[in-house]
Amino acid sequence: MGGLAMEEMPLSALFEQARKIHLAASESGVDQDVVKKGCEMFQKCEDMIGKLGLFSSNETKEDISTNNLKYLLVPYYLAELTEKIIQDDRIQVVKASYAKLKEFFSFCEAMELVPDEELEASSRGGSGAPADRRALKIARFKRQKAAEAKLLEIKERKERRGRSTKAAALSTPVEAGEEDIPDDDSEEEREAWLSSINLAVCKAIDLLEMLKREEEMLSAIKERQLKDGEDVFSRDALDDRTKKAETWHRDAAARVQYSNPAQPITCATFAQDVLEGRASVSQGHEHKHQPLIFGPASIVGGPLSTNRERMIAQVFQPSHRMPTMCIEDAGLTEMNIMNDWQEQTKKAIEEATTSWYNDKPLRRKEEDEEEDDEDEEAVMKARAFDDWKDDNPRGAGNKKLTPCG
């Protein structure tokens, strides 16, 4: 069955063909091509169900016709087939299958096909007392066995009815138009599909838990492998780069005595290219970082004489200023600025320190000279006062006040 035939098939026939593949894959191992083809068919069924609008979010299981009940199992069948795909990246398969099972479980919950105790356990996120989890698993196992027994009973009933109908047809001739036409919307068929959905819900819950544990284990293994691989890779890469750098320096030291000294490399990217052999030192002058130019190059690069040319040159220009130098050049410029600033600061500190030390002896000398001057003035003043006291003894100018005066 090619892709064209699959496109032309009706939904019911496509579902039956895909269901046969799912049944064969569940009972025994089948080829991977068959499994992938079954997945494609179920995906096509999903697309057709969505286009036809068979289900609505405001419906319940009583509102769905018997002919459409079976299509509720499409996500579950697709999840089981997807889980059987074998490929290198197992985590992607597990995630895809888990997503389809969650979709099936959510839709059954909206259709009121999931028991209340399962909904409560799902809302708790699997946490709870061990006794409660054990009781929940026992109840789920009983529902699963009851659904399987119900399906087996309906199958045996249909087989008995078919044998009796065939025997009656052989014993009594049936005229044209009197054949027993089966009722597609019969109660027995509806009961069979509801039992199949209940059985799928029980299996889906167990499969969800298993896939979740498998995904956690695979993620842990992958993280450990990545960590170990990164450590080995980084160690090997560092050793390789060290060897290349040593070889390059050794060769450069051997050539330096026979060649002119090259210009210093100021670009880290170009230095890495030289070390890894993608470029040579002589290509340093060609390694430039020019800013990106947008718009007509002939106008942008040339002189802008008129207003019209300036407006044309601004077409397709970015809204922000473009860089005029690379990161290495900017780093070198900042280093030069910092070196100049450090030198200026050092000079200022030296001048301030030297001036302070040089001014202190001068100040001391001036202070000493001022003190000497003050001492001489005080001595002269004291001597003059002593001479005046010698010339003018005490009471010499008050003769009228003396008794004998």
Residue 150: pLDDT above 80? yes
* pTM score of the predicted model: 0.51
Contact between residue 30 and residue 81 where contact means Cβ atoms under 8 Å apart: no
Residue 301: pLDDT above 60? no
Residue 287: pLDDT above 60? no
pLDDT range class, residue 183, cuts 50, 70, 90: very low
pLDDT range class, residue 178, cuts 50, 70, 90: very low
Residue 182: pLDDT above 80? no
Q: 166-170, 185-189, 271-275, 341-345 — which is least confidently predicted? A: 271-275
Contact between residue 61 and residue 194 where contact means Cβ atoms under 8 Å apart: yes
Name the average pLDDT for the chain.
Answer: 76
Share of the chain above pLDDT 90, in %: 1
User: What's 30's DSSP letter?
Assistant: -
> How much is the pLDDT for 401?
58
Closest-CA residue to 79 (of 135, 38, 24): 38
> How much is the pLDDT for 1?
46
Closest-CA residue to 263 (of 286, 287, 285, 289): 285
Cβ neighbors of 72 (< 8 A, separation 6 or more) are 55, 64, 104, 107, 108, 111, 113, 197
- The Cβ of residue 147 has, within 10 Å, a number of other Cβ atoms equal to 20
Residue 225: pLDDT above 80? no
Tell me how far apart the alpha carbons of residues 275 and 261 are, in angstroms, rounded to a whole number: 17
DSSP codes, 129-167: -HHHHHHHHHHHHHHHHHHHHHHHHHHHHHHHHHHHHHH
Residue 257: pLDDT above 60? no
Residue 185: pLDDT above 60? no
> How much is the pLDDT for 84?
86
- Give the burial class of 204: count Cβ atoms within 10 A of its Cβ; 0-12 exposed, 13-18 middle, 19 or more buried: buried
pLDDT range class, residue 399, cuts 50, 70, 90: low
pLDDT in tens, 315-359: 766 777 777 788 888 888 889 999 999 999 998 888 877 655 555
- The Cβ of residue 64 has, within 10 Å, a number of other Cβ atoms equal to 19
> How much is the pLDDT for 340?
92
> How much is the pLDDT for 11?
84
Instruction: Identify the residue whose tokens are 């003894």.
Output: 393
* Structure-token pair, residue 320: 């922000």
User: What's 292's DSSP letter?
Assistant: P
Residue 13 to residues 7, 25, 158, Cα–Cα distance (Å): 11, 19, 21
> How much is the pLDDT for 356?
52
